[in-house]
Chain A
Amino acid sequence: MRRLSVRWFFLIVATGLVTAYLLLPTLVVIPMSFNRSSTLGVFAGGWTTEWYRELFTSPEWRSAGWNSLQVAVGTTVAATVLGTLAAWGLSRNGRFTSLVQGTMFAPLIVPPVVLGVGLYTLLLGANLTGTIPGLIFAHTVLALPFVVVAVSASFAQVDPNYEKAAAVLGAPPWQRLRRVVLPLVAPGIVSGALFAFITSWDEIVISIFLTDLETKTLPVLMWSQVRTQVTPTLAALGTCLVVLSTLALAAMHPLGKGMK
């Protein structure tokens, strides 16, 4: 199947270019993190490791990292569970499907700054501002649509006969879910969970409203740096994460069974 035809030549070149395009800014971040200049985007003044030092020794960065992690994990779990259930429900075509779908996607459409003000007022009344659960709640609302979209796409390719066959054979819903449905839509769930995590991890706007000093997340900390001045500690953080995730993904390779 994989003869080196002209078609394949172009495909490989295209893929190579897109890969370079994807990686270029990420790779640029690495030298930025070692550069002495106190603004990102400029290379001047020699090289230094002081940004890394600040990253690892400053309690502010560490607590922000821990907060971000907690919130992101909580959001991912909540959004994945709720979103998968919702996508399952949506896969059974009934009345109002479009309407329900639209409502599910709506949080993606409204600019977060508008939603942020509304959520802030709401949570302030419930005394949930500046708390981790409050943040998880807000982020889950934002992350749900991603999960629903990703899992729904997987559901669209699943032959419902599998599930029906299992039902006919007497399997209860819990077993049906675990043994038939979930394995079939697993790729969608993984994508959805990933998007949910990233959404929470990177979320700035609403988090500015909903965090206080103790619950500050990484993006909020970074934003306050960018507003006043920029220290390439951001770049140091980015580089660390990039290295970490590369190692993690590489480690998964021998363990994983491959994607097909």
Chain B
Amino acid sequence: MAPGLTVAVRAGRRRDGGARRWPLLAPAGVFILAGFIVPLGVLLAESLKGGGIARYGELLGSPVNQKVFWTTLRTAALTTLCCAALAYPYAYVMNRAGRKVRLVLLVAVLLPFWASLLVRSFAWIALLQDRGLINNALITLGLIDEPLGLIRRPLGVLIGMVHVMLPYMLLPLFNAMTKIDDRLLLAASSLGATPWRRFVRVFLPLSLPGLAAGVLLVFVLSLGFYITPALLGSPSQAMIGEIIATHVNHFGTATASALGIVLLFGTLAVLLLLAGVLRMVDRRTR
């Protein structure tokens, strides 16, 4: 969130300082407190019941859990990267296009939301499986002899997850791009900048808040997400959300809560780190 905050805001801190913001944050804060912190506190208590802090050590030390955490992190990072790579050009074209084209592109982004997640996941199975639509089409066209292994592999998981997460990356990015003043780009051109330079030096930095928002959203969502990976991947790509759900269903909440809390604090730590790095970069580019 740090990039994009102008110097003016920091200077203005003295004027409309912390005193004014708390009433604004209060209602949301109350919700989060009652609806999230309290249940989490209940869960924390539950997780400690099963053996105290020692249990956490056990969980973190177990190689199975470590592998799952690592897979989750890796999948989330890959998904985020792919989403960013696909969404940026798409948002750029949307931004520059005429009204009709823009509407069509927007509809394409929003439409998947309406077919629910479950239905979409089964649609992907229908498309990707060995006897699925894609393989059948390719075989009929004579392009391949053996079906491509698209499902029950990391590739299938990536395809499915990127599909689910893409809109969450696209919309903030697109919004950010609409805010970029064309005149700045015009000015850069008239000062002799090549299109490439204009893009890298003017457009890209100005679109960063949107990119940052999208990256944050997609990464965080991907960490806890497990339904599509479970349907499209193989067990060796299990994500932490699935493990937690299995625990809750069969053993009660002690271990599941502990794992959930580990996930939460781990992610927060990563986010704080990122925020710190971004702030450093921000300061250095001024």
Give A contacts to B, CB under 8 Å. 1-2, 7, 11-12, 14-15, 18-19, 21-26, 28-29, 32, 40-43, 78, 81-83, 85-86, 88-95, 97-98, 100-115, 117-119, 121-122, 137-138, 140-141, 144, 146, 148-150, 152-154, 156-157, 159-161, 164, 167, 187-188, 191, 194-195, 198, 201-202, 204-205, 218-219, 222-223, 226, 230, 234-235, 237-239, 241-242, 244-246, 249-250, 253, 258-260
Task: Give A202 Cβ to nearest chain B Cβ, in Å.
Answer: 6
For the complex, would chain A's binding face be called helix, strand, loop or mixed by DSSP majority? helix
- Give chain B residues whose Cβ lies under 8 Å from the Cβ of A26: 111-112, 114-115, 120, 123
Known A21-B163, A148-B28, A198-B113; judge A112-B224 contact (CB<8 A): yes
Known A90-B21, A191-B171, A259-B102; judge A160-B8 contact (CB<8 A): yes
B246, closest chain A residue (CB): A113
Q: Kindly identify which residue among A28, A85, A93, A156 contacts B10, using a CB–CB cutoff of 8 Å.
A: A93
Q: In whole angstroms, how far apart are the Cα atoms of A222 and B119 in the complex?
A: 9
Q: Is the CB of A102 within 8 A of B271?
A: yes
Give B contacts to A, CB under 8 Å. 1, 3-6, 8-10, 12-13, 15-18, 20-25, 27-29, 31-32, 35-40, 42-43, 86, 89-90, 92-93, 96, 99-100, 102-120, 122-127, 129, 133, 163, 166, 168, 171-172, 175-176, 178-179, 195, 206, 209-210, 212-213, 216-217, 220-221, 223-224, 226, 240-241, 244-245, 248, 253, 256-257, 259-260, 263-264, 267-268, 271-272, 275
Q: Kindly identify which residue among B1, B118, B268, B272 contacts A226, using a CB–CB cutoff of 8 Å.
A: B118
- Give chain B residues whose Cβ lies under 8 Å from the Cβ of A25: 112, 115, 120, 123-124, 127, 163
Q: In whole angstroms, how far apart are the Cα atoms of A118 and B32 in the complex?
A: 13
Q: Is the CB of B42 within 8 A of A202?
A: no
- Give chain B residues whose Cβ lies under 8 Å from the Cβ of A219: 116, 118
Known A82-B28, A156-B1, A187-B175; judge A105-B271 contact (CB<8 A): yes
Q: Is the CB of B209 within 8 A of A157?
A: yes
Known A107-B36, A119-B39, A222-B118; judge A15-B105 contact (CB<8 A): yes
Q: In whole angstroms, how far apart are the Cα atoms of A103 and B172 in the complex?
A: 21
Q: Is the CB of B36 within 8 A of A86?
A: no
- Give chain B residues whose Cβ lies under 8 Å from the Cβ of A230: 122
Q: A32-B123, A117-B257 are in contact. List 9 more A-B contacts (CB 8 A).
A: A26-B112, A26-B114, A40-B123, A92-B18, A98-B272, A144-B32, A154-B179, A156-B209, A239-B115
Q: Is the CB of A28 within 8 A of B111?
A: no
B109, closest chain A residue (CB): A22
Q: In whole angstroms, how far apart are the Cα atoms of A148 and B1 in the complex?
A: 11
**20 sampled A-B residue pairs with Cβ under 8 A:** A15-B93, A19-B104, A22-B163, A22-B166, A29-B119, A40-B123, A85-B28, A98-B272, A105-B220, A111-B260, A114-B260, A144-B31, A144-B32, A156-B3, A161-B8, A164-B12, A219-B116, A241-B114, A250-B107, A258-B99
- Give chain A residues whose Cβ lies under 8 Å from the Cβ of B240: 111
Task: Give B221 Cβ to nearest chain A Cβ, in Å.
Answer: 6
Q: In whole angstroms, how far apart are the Cα atoms of A118 and B35 in the complex?
A: 9
Q: Kindly identify which residue among B6, B39, B206, B212 contacts A153, using a CB–CB cutoff of 8 Å.
A: B212
Q: Is the CB of B39 within 8 A of A109?
A: no
- Give chain A residues whose Cβ lies under 8 Å from the Cβ of B109: 22
- Give chain A residues whose Cβ lies under 8 Å from the Cβ of B27: 81-82, 85-86
Q: In whole angstroms, how far apart are the Cα atoms of A18 and B123 in the complex?
A: 17
Q: Is the CB of B113 within 8 A of A159?
A: no
- Give chain B residues whose Cβ lies under 8 Å from the Cβ of A43: 126
B266, closest chain A residue (CB): A109
A153, closest chain B residue (CB): B213
